[in-house]
């Protein structure tokens, strides 16, 4: 390497100069001058080495300090679960309820001014339960209902919800299913005099309060792979963000990544109940969730959530919440901070 080579040559030159100067005693002045040059060179070398030493130590230790404190910030920067901010801010909060509907999904967003978005309503036999959850929260109007995809564990209960509540608009991806469950959903929407709006990447929901929400997926068409068709909603309130992925799997995740859609989110509703067919490494890397919520049924036959995904989420730095272990999970945001509560503690 050039720098080493030239250093070696320089030090050889110096050494030979000193030796020859020692032998030729008659040329005292030149000898002294050479000796002085060697001394100066040594001092310069020593100064450079000390300089490098001093420059390196603080640089390394300050980098290390920064890395440690940023890791700590990621873990503890947000309030721990169940710690609420000052009461003055309580009315300004956005709430996201991940209802426990067993094996399935049902998520409610309530904005600070009371606008409501319901994403899915669990299986057929969970419709009444979702209606009860909504009633308990004093909600009889849904500004938007999102049917993420036509599978029964997502739209099964939606017909009952649509029939019983005042629904303003319904969004679903442009894919149909032949099941009775799907027909029931369509009939309920039709009965209310509503038409389904297409959920696709780039479509936004009309919301106020500085809350914005738009679909990150579906980006493409996916034939009869219903999971991949899942409407994926990303919501922002102040500096906080949420990503609701339905059952989107790795093909849709790759398409979302390729689309350039902003995916980063503080809270991630983990895709497909924590199945290994979703939550690819690259997708989690883009989302960087602080909190990951998995909606799954206790002892479900699919083995959801899969261990590999739980480990991947933990490695990504996310605190994991599970409806199968903790019952309904609620995330609150005041636009700056997020805090979580669960039905069953822990």
Residues that bind Zn ion in the complex, under the rule CB under 5 A: 153, 247
CB of 143 to Zn ion, least distance (A): 24
Evaluate whether 292 touches 273 at the Cβ level (below 8 Å): no
Nearer to Zn ion, 115 or 249 (CB): 249
CB of 297 to Zn ion, least distance (A): 10
Nearer to Zn ion, 94 or 119 (CB): 119
Distance CA 145, CA 203 (A): 14
CB of 158 to Zn ion, least distance (A): 13
CB of 151 to Zn ion, least distance (A): 5
CB of 258 to Zn ion, least distance (A): 24
Residue with tokens 């599978």: 151
Q: Which helix (H) or strand (E) holds 244?
A: strand 240-244
Q: Which helix (H) or strand (E) holds 71?
A: helix 28-76
CB of 304 to Zn ion, least distance (A): 9
Nearer to Zn ion, 97 or 269 (CB): 269
Distance CA 211, CA 115 (A): 10
Distance CA 121, CA 102 (A): 11
Rg (CA), the chain: 31
Nearer to Zn ion, 104 or 335 (CB): 104
Nearer to Zn ion, 184 or 247 (CB): 247
242: closest CA among 279, 269, 215? 269
Residue 115 DSSP symbol? -
Distance CA 323, CA 328 (A): 6
Nearer to Zn ion, 111 or 250 (CB): 250
Residue with tokens 């350039």: 260
CB of 111 to Zn ion, least distance (A): 25
CB of 131 to Zn ion, least distance (A): 20
Residue 298 DSSP symbol? T
Backbone angles phi, psi at 255, to 5 degrees: -65, -40
Distance CA 234, CA 289 (A): 12
Nearer to Zn ion, 93 or 304 (CB): 304
Nearer to Zn ion, 211 or 293 (CB): 293
Q: The tokens of 126 are what?
A: 């969970």
Distance CA 231, CA 244 (A): 8
Return the axis-axis angle of helices 2-23 and 28-76, rounded to nearest 10°: 150
């Amino acid at each position: 390497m050039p720098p080493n080579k030239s250093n070696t040559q320089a030090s050889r030159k110096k050494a030979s100069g000193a030796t020859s100067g020692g032998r030729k005693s008659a040329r005292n002045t030149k000898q002294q001058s050479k000796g002085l040059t060697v001394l100066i060179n040594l001092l310069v070398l020593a100064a450079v080495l000390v300089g490098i030493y001093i420059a390196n130590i603080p640089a390394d230790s300050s980098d290390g300090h920064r890395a440690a404190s940023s890791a700590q910030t990621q873990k503890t920067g947000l309030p721990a679960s169940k710690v609420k901010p000052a009461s003055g801010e309580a009315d300004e909060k956005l709430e996201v309820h991940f209802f426990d509907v067993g094996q399935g999904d049902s998520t409610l967003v309530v904005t600070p001014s009371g606008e409501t978005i319901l994403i899915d309503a669990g299986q057929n036999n969970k419709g009444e339960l979702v209606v009860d959850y909504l009633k308990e929260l004093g909600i009889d109007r849904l500004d938007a209902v999102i049917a993420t995809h036509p599978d029964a564990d997502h739209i099964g209960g939606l017909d009952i919800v649509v029939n019983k509540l005042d629904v303003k608009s319904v969004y679903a991806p442009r894919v149909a299913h032949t099941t009775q469950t799907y027909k029931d959903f369509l009939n309920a929407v039709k009965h209310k005099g509503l038409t389904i709006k297409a959920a696709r990447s780039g479509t936004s929901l009309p919301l106020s309060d500085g809350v914005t929400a738009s679909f990150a997926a579906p980006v493409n068409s996916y034939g009869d792979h219903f999971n991949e068709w899942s409407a994926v909603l990303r919501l922002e309130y102040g500096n906080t963000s949420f990503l609701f992925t339905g059952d989107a799997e790795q093909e849709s995740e790759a398409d979302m990544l390729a689309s350039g859609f902003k995916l980063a989110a503080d809270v991630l509703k983990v895709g497909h109940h924590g199945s290994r067919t979703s939550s690819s490494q690259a997708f989690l890397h883009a989302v960087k969730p602080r909190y990951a919520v998995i909606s799954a049924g206790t002892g479900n036959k699919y083995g959801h959530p899969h261990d590999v995904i739980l480990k991947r989420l933990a490695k990504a730095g996310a605190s994991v919440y599970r409806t199968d272990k903790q019952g309904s999970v609620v995330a609150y945001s005041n636009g700056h901070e997020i805090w979580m509560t669960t039905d069953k503690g822990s």
